Chains A and B, each alone.
Chain A
Amino acid sequence: IAGITQAPTSQILAAGRRMTLRCTQDMRHNAMYWYRQDLGLGLRLIHYSNTAGTTGKGEVPDGYSVSRANTDDFPLTLASAVPSQTSVYFCASSAAYQETQYFGPGTRLLVL
Chain B
Amino acid sequence: DTGVSQDPRHKITKRGQNVTFRCDPISEHNRLYWYRQTLGQGPEFLTYFQNEAQLEKSRLLSDRFSAERPKGSFSTLEIQRTEQGDSAMYLCASSFVQSYEQYFGPGTRLTVT
Our verdict on whether A and B bind, yes or no, reads no
Residues of A with Cβ closer than 8 Å to B?
none
